[in-house]
Amino acid sequence: MSDILPDERVVIVDYGSQYTQLIARRIREHHVYCEIVPPWVETERVREARPRALILSGGPASVTAEDAPRINEEILDLGVPVLGICYGEQLLVQHLGGRVEPAPDREYGRAELEIAAGDDPLFEGVPARSVVWMSHGDRVASLPRDFEVIGTSPGSPYAAIRGHDGAIYGLQFHPEVVHSEHGARILSNFLTRVAGLHGTWTMEGFVEAEIRALRERIGDDRVICGVSGGVDSTVVAVLLHRAIGEGLHCFFVDNGLLRAGEVDEVRRIFEHDLRIPLKIVDAGKEFLERLDGVEDPEIKRRRIGHCFVEVFEREAAGIADARYLAQGTLYPDVIESISVWGPSATIKTHHNVGGLPENMSLEVVEPLRELFKDEVREAARQLEVPDALWQRHPFPGPGLAIRVVGEVTHERLETLRAADRIVVDEIRAAGLYDSLWQAFAVFLPVRSVGVMGDARTYENAIAVRCVSSRDAMTADWADLPRDVLASISSRIINEVAGINRVVYDISSKPPATIEWE
């Protein structure tokens, strides 16, 4: 864990809940820094983090299953307050001598919480009855010694519990989701009234500390920074430029996987707005050759990541003392690359995290590795990055390669670029761009029959994806006005050759992801 981070730290043990990152975001909204670790994390790593509190997340497993993730008993002996949520509560109960059993009926959705201990600091300012969100198949059947009930629901007689020493709490419900009416207040009470934290984690402080840390680490060495024009890589470049000035060498790699007009826009932003020198590297042919015949999205990501590094190393060869490669890795990238079930189980490879070649000669520097997306945007605001840039929709590192389902070809990319530009233009024209997290097109190699004029067609489809989100950890499909959807569909079919069908993706995250690959 970085030494530049504040002393007030919370460690979240992730047992595989779809809401774990949401717990982290809720904590950081209270200006408290937190880190997510897997159940198999080494005790010494947690001890070195000097946490002021521990949170055990929910999870899909049953604590009664033989192969279920367990508690590291040593971290419970750190002497800090502990909050178990859903699976985390059940795990605490089982570990400390209580009993967990299958619930007669799975409890999923809204439930009424009735507080049995109104004077408990965890529930200060929370009404005696409120709606909470449940999602569990097991339930607590009996409490460990020296525990008491402080909240109940119709389906959970132990919906909230507390150890007599006031240092261990358990909640059967999920306070981190918006469906729990006073969940944010409950988490705030745990942080402030139970753990005694004051909230010192701010982006202003992070930016100042990170610039100092980069200056101390890099010194007179040179850094190669690949930029995409997105907020992540731009913030990395600005931080490094302020830290080491001319020691930074920014390259924009035109990998042939970019949106329409991307190269010219990035050049203008860096040269005229940010005053940071930028070299454009044309490597589109090289990337497309690496992707020839590849359909698997994981292989796409790895090959793109490897190719990026090779291009950077080639460019770095002409720069004296080049030692570092800067990346815009974010905290969700790190989390999603670590499995709850152990190092051997890969969930998703991010080209910023797990896709780099082992023999890479440059050392990696990742100034944003501790941040979520919305925190990066706040950092951009602190750094006075132009609003038009940091308010842009996120764009994936592998580019349009993961928005072309299946094999990536020059023709498919050109088709997708044209369709994608129409989607964004229409969303902007309708005044909806700033209210959406992302709006884009996906090329589907699914041919279907159509009629254009008097002729029969047999062509491909475009999927339109528009979502609302706060930080990309969860997302809802956007219910766009019918006339906007109609205009997008009509323009794509009439203006983009090779497309005769447009579909709208109405999947939320979870269970779907925002990107298709």
Q: Supply the residues annotated as catalytic.
A: 86, 174, 176
Give CA torsion, residues 312, 317, 320, 321, to 10 deg.
60
Query: How many angstroms separate the CA atoms of 228 and 415, rounded?
Result: 21
| CA 439 to each of CA 123, 245, 395, 466: distance values in angstroms, whole numbers, following the listed order | 40, 35, 10, 4
| CA 162 to each of CA 124, 145, 149: distance values in angstroms, whole numbers, following the listed order | 15, 11, 7
Q: For 213, how many CA atoms within 13 A lie in the half-sphere containing its CB?
A: 14
Cis peptide before 511 (omega within 30 of 0): yes
What kind and span of H or E run contains 88?
Answer: helix 87-95
Query: How many angstroms separate the CA atoms of 224 and 293, rounded?
Result: 30
Q: What is the DSSP letter of 30?
A: T
Task: Write b or e for each residue in 431-444: b if 16 or more Cβ atoms lie within 10 A of its Cβ, otherwise e.
Answer: ebbeebbbbbbbbb
The token pair that represents 370 in the structure block: 């501790």
Asked if 27 contacts 2 with a C-beta cutoff of 8 angstroms, the reply is no
Backbone φ and ψ for 78, nearest 5 degrees, come out as -75, -15
Asked if 254 contacts 263 with a C-beta cutoff of 8 angstroms, the reply is yes
